[in-house]
Amino acid sequence: MNLIIQSLNAVLTQQAATIQSIAQMSRAEKIVPINTNAIRLENVQCDAKILQEIQEQCLVAKLDVYHGSQHQLSDFKLVAMDMDSTLITIECIDEIADMQGLKPQVAEITEAAMRGEIEFQESLIRRVGLLKGLDASALQKVYDQRLQLSLGAENMLKQVQQAGMKTLLVSGGFTFFTDRMKSRLNLDYTHANVLEVVDDKLTGKVIGTIVDADEKKRTVEKICAELSISTQQAIVMGDGANDLKMMGIAGLSVAFRAKPVVRAQANVALNFVGLDGVLNLLYSS
């Protein structure tokens, strides 16, 4: 087993003492630089107690740490991503609600759902209901003025697309935004909820099947079947409780800036580095 440690900064120079401490604790055979911001400690010997101590030390030092085998880039054929707070920095529904002066109420429901305290379908129905009567032009305002890609998103997508992987954006958010992300980022597949609009006003309803945790999982399974690959050949990224089911069938699950319940169940948690930090877990040859 290896430990892969990453930082937003030059890890070997700015975190040298911490790296040496972890290397000794884990009885690593070798320290191998991956790049300026990431290193691999090879053939470590960590029991659960030592690993927990290392994880706590890394958290204090704002380092991301992964314990396991390093994967081959060629092991994977699909990258599936949640959108809100994963591929992008915002929760779109919260920002739409802000146009109604209802952001605090909607954000409170969003957070409870992401922590797994409310069923996602119930939370979405409640939140969308609060948007009734809002001018549909608010969606474009959110896209133009507030939507930003997460750190490392463009580099991650560039690298996986160059490696020949397909990309899927599957979201409990809305097609208004996923459609634009698909075009902007050259994604292969998207799936999200459809907001009902009548006379240029939101009705407070969603059309069709709600994209909840089960639907996200079914979508990953469906795309994998279309590509004639196993779900173990998929990397799945998410941040909230409604991502856990699709993450659970992946060959590599990535929790990005995630809630504790998600970090605890993912193969790797990226708390500090960007989405492209996943690339440091993958051998290119």
Give the chain's radius of gyration (CA, Å).
20
* Pair 185, 210: CB distance under 8 Å: no
Give me the half-sphere count of Cα atoms (radius 13 Å) on the Cβ side of residue 264.
5
First and final C-alpha spacing in the chain: 18
Distance CA 218, CA 213 (A): 9
Instruction: Give the H or E element holding residue 218.
Output: helix 213-226
Beta pairing, strands 282-283 & 71-72: parallel
Distance CA 81, CA 84 (A): 9
Nearest to 91 by CA among 171, 16, 210: 171
Query: So which residues are the catalytic ones?
Result: 82, 84
Q: What is the dihedral of CA 149, 169, 279, 249, to 10 degrees?
A: 140
Nearest to 260 by CA among 145, 65, 114, 63: 114
- Residue 69 burial class via C-beta count within 10 angstroms: exposed 0-12, middle 13-18, buried 19 and up: exposed
Distance CA 217, CA 211 (A): 10
Q: What is the dihedral of CA 184, 185, 188, 189, to 10 degrees?
A: -70
